[in-house]
Amino acid sequence: MYAILDIESTGGKYNEEGIMEIAIHRFDGHQVVDQFICLINPEREIQPFVSKLTGINNAMLRSAPKFHEVAKRIVEITEGAVIVAHNAQFDYRILRTEFRRLGYNYQRKTLCTVDLSKQLIPDAESHSLGKLARSLGIPMSDRHRANGDALATLKLFKLLLNKDTDKKIITEVIREETHGELSPNQLDMVYNLPSETGVYYLHDREGAIIFLGKTKDIKKRVNQHFTNIGKLGRKLQKETKKVSYEPTGSELIAILKAYLEQKKNNPKFNQVSKKKLFSHIVDFGQNGTEHIVLEVADSRVLKSTSMAFNGTEAAKNFLGKIQTEFELCPCSLDLEAVCTIQEIEGASVLECNEKVITAYERYSIQGKDIALLDRGRITGERSFILIKSGKLQGFGYVELNHQINNIHILESIMTPMASDDNTTFIIESYLRKNNRLKTVPLTSSS
């Protein structure tokens, strides 16, 4: 027995969404034997983009029943059935969250038509419900409404059942309680996590860190570990007994902390590489006395005139970017190229060199005393990463502007971090992709 399900939620922060419409068709493998379709008062505001997408607004839901009034009906129609949904992890999570608010531990097996269609229709251009239905000739009406999407999912599921001639895939894809559903203990762990940027730590029964990672959303990422059906996911689900975390506010601080703490702690399930994180460098050093030349090299030794990249493609893209941004002469990038700048008493050489130096100083931290400012963990707070003489020193948080540009104050309040070529690569590659961080030159004055 199957319960074909679709939910329309209010949107909002992770695990704070509410159900505003639900459609369930109880299907015995041949025909629908029961159905439940209902608008629900979510007792919270609908996000504007959700209203625009679904056509459902707050006024429509004021007289609708609240979730606790329909909960019993949902339990009954899904009893003894496998929940089938397109992106089942999302719908099932939302449904369990609503039941949890009522103090009820709702558990069902689930089957995802996204997973099934990827295995049974691997050549499809897209596995989204709308595009998949269109490519398969499945008629759709009331798109982005619960019943419209549930009926399309039902038709898709019937087609997939027919395609699964040996019936092996459906057996394998059904997620047992330990492979895709959260146990009560795991649900408690995830429920208490914040939807914030930071570093998270998974601990075993002895308290040892068995895995740590960085993320923009701690709650969402840990939930993914506990619902992943891959090999790593199953190991983490089996051995994790506690989750701790440190919010950082700044994504760059989270990346640096995760890299350094993985090296220090060597968690059981992290793949900690002892190699450099980069494979190529671009050398901005002088070539003889005529030009400053940029080279992509296989060398993995960072010099004071070079920048690191992970792969030739990234390095070449950067060269193309700065050539356009700073209007670099081709001779700066190619020893054989002729200088395109008119030479007047050696002015061409100086001008080419100055442009390359400007490009290097714009994106490099080498030799600099600076603070990189980013968002903090709370309103009114700012995070900083301190760099002295081009080397990472540490990170910290400030609330007062006068603290920001004094290097001695920052050194006194920061948490130290070890510096190496990889941390320089992490910082510079992040700066190349993110213009949001503010760079503040530092002084040693009191």
pLDDT at 35 over 70: yes
Spatial CA neighbour of 409 closest among 375, 386, 376: 386
For residue 79, what are the CA distances in angstroms to 1, 82, 292, 420?
9, 9, 73, 57
Q: Radius of gyration over alpha carbons of the chain, in Å? A: 28
Please, which pLDDT band fits residue 288 given cuts at 50, 70 and 90? very low
User: 49-108, pLDDT tens digit by residue?
Assistant: 888 888 888 888 888 899 999 999 999 999 988 899 998 888 888 898 889 888 888 888
- Distance CA(334)–CA(293), nearest Å, equals 7
pLDDT at 305 over 50: yes
Write down the pLDDT at residue 176.
43
- Distance CA(144)–CA(50), nearest Å, equals 9
- Distance CA(396)–CA(414), nearest Å, equals 4
Per mean pLDDT, which range of 65-69, 156-160, 300-304, 316-320 is the poorest?
300-304
How much helix, strand and coil, in percent to the nearest 5, is found in the chain? 40, 20, 40
Amino acid, res. 171: T
Q: Write the CB contacts of 4 (distance below 8 Å, at least 6 apart in sequence).
A: 24, 25, 26, 27, 84, 85, 150, 153, 154, 157
The arithmetic mean of pLDDT across residues 226-250, rounded, is 87
- Distance CA(401)–CA(382), nearest Å, equals 9
DSSP state of 414: P
Write down the pLDDT at residue 337.
53
Sign of CA dihedral 413, 415, 418, 422: negative
User: 243-271, pLDDT tens digit by residue?
Assistant: 888 899 999 999 999 999 998 888 999 98
- CB count in 10 Å sphere of residue 223: 22
Amino acid, res. 53: L
Whole-structure pTM value: 0.61
The arithmetic mean of pLDDT across residues 206-233, rounded, is 88
Whether the CB-CB separation of 220 and 93 falls below 8 Å is answered with no
Whether the CB-CB separation of 1 and 82 falls below 8 Å is answered with yes
Token pair of 188 as six digits: 């408690």
| Pairing mode, strands 370-375 and 382-388 | antiparallel
pLDDT at 225 over 80: yes
Mean pLDDT for the chain overall: 82
Write down the pLDDT at residue 335.
47
Please, which pLDDT band fits residue 425 given cuts at 50, 70 and 90? very high
Q: Write the CB contacts of 290 (distance below 8 Å, at least 6 apart in sequence).
A: 349
DSSP for 320-371 reads HHHHHHTT--GGGT-TTSPP-SPPSTTHHHHHHHHHHHHHHHHH--TT--EE
- Distance CA(340)–CA(365), nearest Å, equals 30
pLDDT at 25 over 90: yes
Per mean pLDDT, which range of 93-102, 160-169, 332-341 is the poorest?
332-341
CA angle 266, 267, 271 (to 5 degrees): 80
Question: At what angle are helices 421-433 and 251-265 packed, to 10 degrees?
Answer: 160
Write down the pLDDT at residue 73.
93
- Nearest-10 Cα torsion for 82, 88, 92, 94: -160
- Distance CA(14)–CA(87), nearest Å, equals 16
Please, which pLDDT band fits residue 289 given cuts at 50, 70 and 90? very low
- CB count in 10 Å sphere of residue 354: 12
Spatial CA neighbour of 296 closest among 318, 321, 325: 318
